[in-house]
Amino acid sequence: MIKRILILSLILVSGISEIIACTNLIVTRGASTDGSVMITYAADSHTRYGAIAFYPAADHQPGDLCQVFHYENGRLLGTIPEVAHTYSVVQFMNEHQVAIGETTWGGLESLTSQPDAILDYGSLMRIGLQRSKTAREMIKVMTELVAQHGYATSGESFSISDANEAWILEMIGKGKFEKGAVWVARLIPEGYVSGHANQARITTFPFQKTNNWNDPKQTVYHSPDVISFAKKHGFYKGNDENFSFSDVFNPVNFGGARFCDARVWSFFRKINKEIRENQDFTNYAMGKFTRNSKLSDQSPNPNGYVSNRLPLWVKPDSKVSLQEVMAGMRDHYEDTPLDMRNDPGAGPFKSPYRWRPMEFMVDSVMYLNERAVATQQTGYSFVAQSRSWLPAPIGGIFWFGVDDADGCVYAPMYCGITKIPESYAIGNGSMISWSETSAYWTFSQVNNWAYSRYNLIHPEIETYQVQLENQFSSEIQVVDKQAAELYKHNVAAASEYLTGYSVFSGNKLVNDWKAFYQYLFMKYVDGNVKHTDGRKLLENGNGKNIPKPPAQPGYGKEWERIMIQGTGERLKVPKE
C-alpha cells in the first residue's frame, strides 16, 4: 500500500521575491531565559495560506512506499520506501520536540535543478521530522535521503532543533553533474543566537574527515565532497582551508545583504551591543561591502570575499525571552537606518510597510522598498520551543500565528497533540475561498484594516496581542504541571489533555479576534475615532445606541504640509 504525504501548497513567486521569502531565528538553550531551545520561521508568499498540517504517527509494513509530492506545485515527484514507524508531526515540529524551519537562497544557477530528483526541500522537512528523534538524527536522515534519491530544489538554509541543541544546515543540489547535494551543518554554540533569511550564512568551517553521528563533541557535519565537488566543476580554485560554502555556492551581493541578511542584522543588533554599534555591520546590512585582507574574525582572506559580513552567530548581552523572540518576528527595522516610518512612503499614518514590487524605476534610476522580517505577505509564522526538563510531548510547544506576524497572536500547540483546532485546520478556507471560521482570514482582516491607519489602529492590536500571549504563557505553566502528572500514569490521557487545551485555545482565540475586528472596524470607520472604554464603544448618554461625536484626527500637521506641496493657490481658503 502506498502511504501519501500530504503537502501544503507553498508557492514561491518568481524573480527577486523568490530569494526573499522567509526568515528564521535560532536561540540555543544557554541563550534563552528559561533554558529552552527556540527556532522561528516566517513562511512568506503572496499566495501562501496559513494553516496547520498534522501527520499522525503510523506503523508501516515492509514494501510500503511513500509518495512524494512537490512542496510548491503539488506534482508527484516519485516514491521512496517507508520506514517501520513514523512519528507524529504538527506542521514543522514532531512529538520528540524536533523542529525545523527554512529559507531559500537559490545559489549557482547551474545547480538549482536536478533531473529525476525525488526529494525537494519541503519533502525533506516533513519526512525528516517523521523519522527523527534528535536534531542530529534529522540532519543524518535528510542528507542520506538526498544522496539516495536526489535533491529537487535550489539552495536552502535549514534551522533544526531539539530540546538540547540547535543547528544550521545549508544545502545545494549537484545539478546535472551528479546525484544528490553538497551541504554543511554547524552546531550553534551554547549561549549563542543565530539566524538566516534567504542568504547562505555558513562561510569557512573546520573540515571533518568523517561524520561521526554518535559523537556529541562533533559540532560540524558536511558532505565529504563539499570542497572537491566545487573544485572539480570549476566553482572554486583556492586552498581548502579558505573554502567558504556561502561565498562559493551563494556569493553575497547587494540584494543578499540589503533584502536578506539585513533582517538577521536587525535582530542581532537588538540583543548584541557590538552588532548595534559596529558601523561595518550596519554598512553591510545596507549593501555596502569591504573586502579587506582579513575577515572579521581576523583569519586571512586570500579569495577577496566580503569581509564585513555578519557573524554566523552572536552572544546576546543578556538572555533572550520567548517574548523577545516573538518581537523579533515582528520587526520592521524600527529605530535603525532602515526604519521605514519616517519617509514619504510611510504615508500620513507612519506605515512600516511597502507594497510590492520590491524594486521600481523612476527616471531611469532603480529604487527599492525595504524587506523587513514582518511583512504583509506572510502566510504563517511560528516559534518552536523545545524544553528539555519536560517529557517530549509536553516540552515541545509550537507557537503558531497566521498572516503578518506583526498582527498575529501566537497560539500554543503542544507537540504531543493528536488533533488541530478547526480554525487552523487544512481545508478550512484557502487563498481563494473564504471561511468565517478560518484563523487566517480573521487575522488578515484585522491586519489589513490596521494598514489603512497604522499608527492609530496598530497600538490597539499590540496591546491585545501582548495581553493574550501573556495569558497563554501563564496558562501553559498550569497545563505543563497537570499534563506532566497525567503523563506519569497515563500517556494517552496526557495527550488527550494537551489536545483539548490546544484545540480550545486556538478556536477561542479566533472567536475573540473576530470580535476584536468588529470592534476595531466600528471604532475607526470612515476616518473617525469613536470614544471607547477599554474595548467597549461608548454612547452619548441618551440610551439610543448613538455614539458620542467622534474624534477626527485627520492626517497630522506634517502630512498636511506635504499635501499642499505643488498645489499653488488651489487649496487655499481665501480670507474673508
If DSSP codes are grouped into helix, strand and coil, which group holds residue 251?
coil
| All residues at 6 or more sequence positions from 275 whose CB lies less than 8 Å from its CB, including other chains | 265, 268, 269, 281, 310, 314
If DSSP codes are grouped into helix, strand and coil, which group holds residue 488?
helix
The parts of the chain modelled with pLDDT lower than 70 are 1-20
Q: Which H helix or E strand runs over 4?
A: strand 2-4
- Per-residue pLDDT of 339-361, as tens digits, reads 999 999 999 999 999 999 999 99
Q: What angle do CA 365, 366, 370 make, to 5 degrees?
A: 140
Q: What angle do CA 321, 268, 325 make, to 5 degrees?
A: 25
Nearest Cα to Cα of residue 379 among 131, 9, 3, 120: 9
Q: Is 35 left (phi over 0), alpha (psi -120 to 50) or beta?
A: left
DSSP-derived pairing of the beta strands 378-386 and 37-44: antiparallel
Taking residue 300's Cβ as centre, other Cβ atoms within 10 Å add up to 11
Nearest Cα to Cα of residue 520 among 438, 445, 435: 445
Contact between residue 2 and residue 79 where contact means Cβ atoms under 8 Å apart: yes
Question: How high is the pLDDT of residue 72?
Answer: 76
Nearest Cα to Cα of residue 26 among 410, 450, 313, 273: 313
Taking residue 286's Cβ as centre, other Cβ atoms within 10 Å add up to 16
Taking residue 495's Cβ as centre, other Cβ atoms within 10 Å add up to 22
Q: Is the peptide bond before 357 cis (omega within 30 degrees of 0)?
A: yes
For residues 262 and 24, what is the distance between their CA atoms, to the nearest angstrom? 12
Counting DSSP H helices and E strands in the chain, the numbers are 14, 24
**The dihedral sign for the CA sequence 446, 448, 453, 458:** positive
| All residues at 6 or more sequence positions from 99 whose CB lies less than 8 Å from its CB, including other chains | 39, 92, 93, 129, 159, 160, 161, 162, 384, 386, 396, 398
| All residues at 6 or more sequence positions from 553 whose CB lies less than 8 Å from its CB, including other chains | 456, 529
Question: How high is the pLDDT of residue 70?
Answer: 86
For residues 81 and 60, what is the distance between their CA atoms, to the nearest angstrom? 10
Place of cell 509536553: 394
Q: Is 164 left (phi over 0), alpha (psi -120 to 50) or beta?
A: alpha
Place of cell 497537570: 482
Contact between residue 340 and residue 351 where contact means Cβ atoms under 8 Å apart: yes
Helix segments in 99-177, DSSP class H: 121-130, 135-149
Phi, psi dihedral angles at 184 (to 5 degrees): -140, 140
- Per-residue pLDDT of 538-566, as tens digits, reads 999 999 999 999 999 999 999 999 999 99
For residues 3 and 377, what is the distance between their CA atoms, to the nearest angstrom? 33
Question: How high is the pLDDT of residue 20?
Answer: 61
DSSP assignment of 395-424 equals H-EEEEEES-GGG---EEEETT-S---GGG
Question: How high is the pLDDT of residue 413?
Answer: 98
DSSP assignment of 159-218 equals EEE-SS-EEEEEEEE-TTTSSSEEEEEEEPPTT-EEEESSS----S----SS--TT-TT-
DSSP-derived pairing of the beta strands 155-161 and 99-106: antiparallel
DSSP-derived pairing of the beta strands 65-69 and 2-4: parallel
